[in-house]
Amino acid sequence: MLAMLVLAATAHAGIPYDPPSVPIDNAVAKVALSAGKPGELTRPHVHLTNRVMIYFQAGTNTIRYPDGKVAPEHFKPGEVQWNYAMGTHTAEITAAGPVDIVHVELAASV
């Protein structure tokens, strides 16, 4: 199933998912498709569970925390990254164009 989502995101590269598309949301995982727009700062938000991020274009996601801490996350096309749950933060993508992302949020019990 995840392979089908990856193919779908690749086929629609650069098409904004606003709001993000959520093709899977069950007791094990929530899968969302989104397109990060360069220079657009997200609203403050949290991630309560660990997750896997799959990026389809190269760039940097700069995470900013209320205490002033800045954590840049660099990614390459096709790269898969593990992200731990994180507190309140904003994010901003730096890239040549929109970045398609598959987010796989794992249930706390997994």
Contact 104, 52 (CB under 8 A): yes
35 φ/ψ angles, rounded to the nearest 5 degrees: -125, 115
Is residue 9 predicted with pLDDT exceeding 60? no
Using alpha carbons, select from 66, 6, 57 the residue that is nearest to residue 36. Answer: 57
Is residue 67 predicted with pLDDT exceeding 90? yes
Q: What is the DSSP letter of 41?
A: B
Is residue 79 predicted with pLDDT exceeding 90? yes
The single-letter code of the amino acid at 103 is H
Using alpha carbons, select from 100, 86, 95 the residue that is nearest to residue 53. Answer: 100
Confidence label for 13 from pLDDT (cuts 50, 70 and 90):
very low
Confidence label for 8 from pLDDT (cuts 50, 70 and 90):
very low
**CA–CA separation, 75 vs 40, rounded Å?**
17
Q: How many CA atoms lie within 13 A of 97 on its CB side?
A: 8
